[in-house]
């Protein structure tokens, strides 16, 4: 990986952090709303445990995805874009090579 992709300027770090928080807020809000809706349709224990299984999976997923280490930013962003929690346009301000890498990873 070329040096330009490893170094993050302070501005880029701030931007990355803000983009992360935006995606996080969107995903969490959507999840809470989804759970609030789903739970109203539950009428038996199997359905409740299905919701529990779903929450276990989402918790594992979210805990792993929002990795604030610089070295993981590009992978994390590509994942968030793939899932629709962030758009490439919201990474405007990052070095073009980083955005290209995110775009390429998101297409995988």
* φ, ψ for residue 67, nearest 5 deg: -95, 110
Kindly report the length of the chain: 108
Among 5, 13, 31, 99, binds a copy of itself (CB under 8 A): 31
Q: Which is nearer to a copy of itself, 15 or 31 (CB)?
A: 31
Contacts of residue 103, defined as CB under 8 A and 6 or more positions apart, other chains included, come to 78, 81, 88
Q: How far is the CB of 50 from a copy of itself (least distance, A)?
A: 11
The CA distance from 100 to 104, in Å, is 6
Instruction: Annotate each residue in 2-21 with x if it binds a copy of itself (CB under 8 A) or - if it does not, as one string.
Output: --------------------
Instruction: Annotate each residue in 47-86 with x if it binds a copy of itself (CB under 8 A) or - if it does not, as one string.
Output: -xx-xx--xx--x--x------------------------
Contacts of residue 47, defined as CB under 8 A and 6 or more positions apart, other chains included, come to 41
The CA distance from 25 to 100, in Å, is 25
- Binding residues (CB under 8 A) for a copy of itself: these are 28, 31-32, 35-36, 39-40, 42-45, 48-49, 51-52, 55-56, 59, 62
């Amino acid at each position: 990986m070329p040096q330009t992709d490893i170094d993050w300027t302070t501005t880029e770090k701030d931007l990355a952090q803000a983009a992360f928080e935006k995606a996080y807020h969107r995903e969490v809000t959507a999840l809470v709303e989804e759970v609030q809706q789903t739970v109203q349709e539950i009428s038996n224990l199997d359905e409740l445990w299905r919701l529990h299984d779903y929450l276990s999976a989402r918790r594992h997923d979210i805990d792993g995805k929002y990795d604030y280490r610089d070295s993981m930013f590009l992978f994390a962003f590509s994942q968030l874009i793939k899932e629709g929690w962030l758009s490439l346009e919201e990474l405007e301000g990052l070095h073009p090579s980083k955005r290209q890498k995110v775009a390429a990873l998101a297409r995988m």
